């Protein structure tokens, strides 16, 4: 029955439909005609050395890399092009990052930032400069089940850097992946 329908439609119409389907699929997958393999490989992430911290970025489905001011590349593309009444695209002004957003990003990544502290005497908030997050002293516990001595100083530094490179959500996922949930003993 399908063959009869196809023969009634005609070859030209089926070819047009096939081309339209191929175009739709390319738009959905982001594949464009004329894009060379080198352009596609530039978008892929370079191989990294074996991570000591589980890669939480796999858990953040659909998330995009963020730029310095905290906006995703896709949002930047959407915001930079607007349409006027004619339907033609015009460029929008890129706004400067907000002071609060910059401080939030710096705090998230463990860099020095300006925080606020409530002064009880004056009953006002005052700005306080907070130091950069740094790796603390090695644990000197004697308990063997923590296995603190097995982790080298280089690995400790690497873990510290990887954790502070993450976003809030990725840190949350990292903690959930690192913790073993067990039933309470009765």
* Tens-digit pLDDT profile for residues 120-147: 888 899 999 999 999 998 888 877 777 8
Comparing C-alpha atoms, which of 116, 105, 108, 156 is closest to residue 133? 108
* pTM for the model: 0.46
Give residue 43's pLDDT: 47
- The SS3 of residue 124 is strand
- Predicted confidence (pLDDT) at residue 112 exceeds the cutoff of 90: yes
Percentage, residues of the chain above pLDDT 70 = 61
pLDDT of the residue at 154: 94
In whole angstroms, give the CA distance from residue 160 to residue 145: 21
Report how far apart the first and last C-alpha atoms of the chain are (Å, whole number).
67
How far apart are alpha carbons 162 and 22 in whole angstroms?
Answer: 41
- Bigger pLDDT: 61 vs 133: 133
33 Cβ neighbours under 8 A, 6+ residues apart: 26
């Amino acid at each position: 029955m399908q063959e009869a329908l196809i023969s009634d439609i005609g070859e030209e119409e089926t070819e047009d439909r096939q081309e339209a389907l191929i175009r739709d699929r390319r738009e959905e997958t982001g594949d464009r005609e004329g894009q060379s393999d080198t352009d596609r490989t530039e978008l892929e992430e370079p191989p990294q050395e074996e991570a000591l911290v589980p890669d939480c970025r796999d858990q953040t489905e659909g998330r995009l890399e963020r730029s310095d001011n905290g906006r995703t590349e896709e949002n930047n593309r959407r915001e930079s092009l607007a349409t006027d009444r004619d339907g033609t695209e015009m460029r929008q002004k890129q706004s400067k990052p907000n002071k609060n957003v910059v401080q939030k990003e710096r705090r998230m990544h463990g860099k020095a930032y300006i925080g606020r502290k409530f002064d009880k005497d004056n009953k006002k908030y005052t700005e306080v400069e907070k130091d950069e997050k740094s790796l603390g002293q090695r644990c000197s516990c004697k308990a063997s089940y923590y296995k603190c001595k097995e982790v080298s100083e280089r690995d400790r530094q690497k873990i510290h850097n990887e954790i502070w490179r993450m976003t809030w959500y990725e840190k949350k996922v990292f903690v959930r992946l690192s913790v073993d949930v067990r039933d309470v003993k009765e």
